[in-house]
């Protein structure tokens, strides 16, 4: 397939904000796609491999500017000038591609989608001396062969800003529409669930496309969990009180500590190979060698997938530490032993998805939690079963809740004993209860440069939630509090200098002191209340927001949604 065909699809998708229209456009495209073109499924989301792969494109705006300059014969200053004017490097590439000063032999050949994905896959493989030059060379070759519309989407793909407004759910419904046309509406709902289940179990759109193309619900049902391949974790909804939790779940139910740590999915293969994954599907096995040893020593079973929370603690006092202190271990690649001694973790296991060759996703939680207690030998400050009671007593649940808070944890989880495990879903049968202080996980989408002591730093940050209906990030407020001018122990990442450093490469547009930022950096934010406001695209504003933590462990798919904002707004009234 010609890459231009894919670029024209992108253009059609970006031309409408209506989800049903996007599904229809994408459905027609998928019908024409052959099995040989399966890898194009990754490009639909601006990726080059399945979502669990660690091989990301990772091209900075600066490197893209150099490639555009070289491919078009325009100076870098001219490219930057156009970028500041237009605010979209893809649009800059499109504009300058129309006025190329020179052509190359490559430009005589039509660019194929296979050529594009093969070339993009070379980028993360490059290492060592001369890497930047080699990357620029690969990108320049593609741009030299590209028409203006192809240049537009090549650059947007490279910098991770496709702007076509589709999500995984859009692709799911397009697959239903494309390959299950003969099914009635009720049957299509079942197909949609089956496709989502297949995506959740594989995190591989190309594989799901191949099976969906056969038009068989039975074939979709044959997709199973694979030990060693990360899957998305099940997510909870929140309720304000224990009483509300019992009303929603019935009695009795399980009440567990809600740990102030980070999610850790533990995979053990039958050959004794152990892998650790975060909720972002990142492999962190090397970062937590002690967790690997604990699993080998204290968990019985030939093969399994465990869901857990890793919590930091003070080696001397044994007091549990807040997430912000332990979060730096997630990204640490070097001097692992040193930080392991400084910031040890305890692994708290609260669910099991697979055991000795059998998926447990559809087994009731009561059975899953019972199995955990049988296979784990508790060793406090190493690995333990999550602290839990099963009760129908509100009084006992409240006492347990207070004990969790006294142990420096966030609160409690309440879980239905009969519920299945649904990867990637925010389910109503697993609920979290935390103290009344309101909090959201939001993404930074803009900022302003400071003055005085904060001159040269980004010092006021625009926060956004996510609207599932439109696939857009909507602004909900501006924050500058909770961030320090100098780092304090446990919060070294929460300084204006540090945030400026990690956000600068993500700037997509500059206008005076204001910048737009590619949605990537997630922060936990507390606030006093939600107000209606015409000043922000969400229609709401947070009163007295305060940043409490960077959340490198959370993917964009888990930030607070507009629907959740609306629910909390109604609840506070």
Nearest to 237, CA basis, from 29, 427, 88: 427
DSSP 419: P
Specify the pLDDT at position 306: 98
Q: pLDDT for 63-109, tens place per residue?
A: 999 999 999 999 999 998 888 888 789 999 999 998 764 444 444 46
Q: pLDDT for 10-63, tens place per residue?
A: 999 999 989 999 999 999 999 999 989 999 999 999 999 998 888 989 888 889
Phi-psi region of 292 (alpha: psi -120 to 50; beta: other; left: phi over 0): alpha
| Residue 565 to residues 242, 247, 424, 532, 561, Cα–Cα distance (Å) | 21, 22, 20, 11, 6
Strands (E), 226-382: 235-238, 253-258, 262-268, 274-277, 304-312, 345-355, 358-359
Specify the pLDDT at position 114: 94
| CA 195, chain centre distance (Å) | 20
Specify the pLDDT at position 94: 95
Residue 426: pLDDT over 60 = yes
Beta bridge partners of 446: 462, 516
| Residue 457 to residues 77, 460, 552, Cα–Cα distance (Å) | 23, 9, 21
Q: pLDDT for 350-375, tens place per residue?
A: 999 999 999 999 999 999 999 999 99
Which residue in 70, 258, 268, 518 is the catalytic one?
258
Q: pLDDT for 121-158, tens place per residue?
A: 999 999 888 999 999 999 999 999 999 999 999 999 99
Residue 481: strand, helix, or coil? coil
- Determine the Cα–Cα distance for residues 188 and 195; give it in Å rounded to an integer: 10
Per the annotation, the verdict on 31 as an active-site residue is: no
Whether the CB-CB separation of 385 and 368 falls below 8 Å is answered with: no
Half-sphere exposure of 119 (CA within 13 A, CB side): 21
Q: State the distance between the two ends of the chain, measured CA to CA, in whole angstroms.
A: 55
C-alpha dihedral sign at 207, 212, 218, 219: negative
Q: Counting beta carbons within 10 angstroms of the beta carbon of residue 315, is it exposed (0 to 12), middle (13 to 18) or buried (19 or more)?
A: exposed
Whether the CB-CB separation of 305 and 227 falls below 8 Å is answered with: yes
Give the DSSP H/E element, type plus range, for residue 10: helix 3-14
- Determine the Cα–Cα distance for residues 87 and 277; give it in Å rounded to an integer: 36
Whether the CB-CB separation of 235 and 558 falls below 8 Å is answered with: yes
Half-sphere exposure of 435 (CA within 13 A, CB side): 12
Q: How many CB atoms lie within 10 A of CB 524?
A: 19
């Amino acid at each position: 397939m010609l890459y231009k065909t894919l670029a024209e699809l992108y253009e059609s998708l970006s031309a409408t904000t209506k989800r049903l229209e996007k599904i229809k456009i994408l459905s027609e495209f998928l019908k024409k796609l052959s099995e040989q073109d399966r890898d194009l499924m990754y490009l639909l989301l601006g990726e080059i491999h399945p979502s669990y792969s660690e091989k990301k494109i990772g091209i900075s705006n600066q490197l893209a500017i150099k490639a555009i300059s070289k491919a078009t014969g325009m100076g870098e200053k001219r490219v930057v000038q156009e970028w500041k004017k237009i605010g979209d490097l893809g649009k800059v590439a499109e504009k300058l591609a129309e006025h190329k000063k020179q052509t190359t032999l490559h430009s005589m050949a039509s660019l194929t989608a296979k050529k594009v994905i093969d070339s993009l896959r070379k980028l993360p493989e490059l290492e060592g001396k001369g890497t930047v030059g080699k990357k620029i060379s690969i990108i320049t070759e593609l741009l030299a062969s590209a028409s203006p519309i192809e240049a537009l989407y090549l650059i947007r793909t490279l910098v991770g800003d496709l702007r076509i407004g589709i999500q995984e759910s859009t692709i799911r419904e397009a697959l239903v529409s494309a390959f299950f046309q003969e099914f009635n509406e009720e049957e299509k709902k079942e197909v949609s669930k089956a496709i989502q289940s297949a995506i959740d179990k594989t995190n591989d759109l190309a594989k799901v496309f191949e099976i969906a193309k056969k038009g068989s619900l039975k074939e979709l049902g044959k997709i199973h969990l694979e030990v060693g391949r990360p899957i998305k974790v099940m997510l909870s909804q929140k309720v304000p009180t224990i009483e509300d939790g019992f009303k929603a779940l019935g009695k009795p139910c399980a009440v567990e500590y809600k740990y102030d740590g980070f999610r850790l999915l533990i995979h053990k293969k039958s050959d004794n190979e152990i892998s650790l994954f975060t909720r972002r599907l990142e492999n962190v096995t090397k970062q937590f060698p002690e967790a690997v040893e604990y699993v080998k020593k204290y968990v019985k079973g030939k093969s399994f997938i465990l869901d857990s929370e890793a919590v930091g603690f003070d080696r001397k006092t044994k007091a549990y530490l807040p997430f912000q202190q332990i979060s730096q271990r997630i990204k640490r690649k070097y001097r692992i032993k040193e930080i392991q001694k400084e910031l040890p973790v305890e692994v708290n296991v609260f669910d099991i998805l697979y055991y000795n060759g059998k998926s447990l996703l559809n087994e009731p939680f009561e059975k899953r939690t019972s199995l955990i207690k049988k296979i784990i030998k508790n060793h406090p400050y190493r690995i333990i079963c999550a602290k839990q009671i099963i009760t129908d007593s509100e009084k006992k649940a409240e006492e347990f809740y207070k004990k969790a808070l006294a142990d420096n944890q966030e609160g409690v989880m309440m879980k239905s004993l009969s519920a299945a495990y649904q990867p990637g879903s925010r389910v109503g049968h697993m609920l979290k209860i935390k103290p009344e202080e309101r909090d959201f996980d939001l993404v930074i989408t803009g900022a302003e440069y400071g003055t005085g002591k904060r001159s040269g730093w980004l010092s006021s940050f625009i926060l956004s939630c996510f609207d599932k209906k439109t696939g857009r990030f909507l602004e909900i407020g501006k924050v500058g509090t909770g961030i320090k001018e100098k780092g304090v122990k446990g919060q070294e990442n929460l300084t204006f200098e540090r945030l400026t450093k990690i956000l600068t490469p993500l700037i997509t547009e500059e206008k005076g002191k204001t910048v737009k930022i590619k949605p990537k950096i997630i922060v936990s934010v507390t606030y006093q209340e939600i107000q209606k406001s015409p000043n922000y695209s969400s229609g709401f504003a947070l009163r007295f927001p305060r940043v409490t933590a960077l959340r490198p462990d959370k993917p964009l798919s888990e930030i607070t949604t507009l629907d959740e904002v609306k629910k909390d707004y109604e609840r506070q009234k």
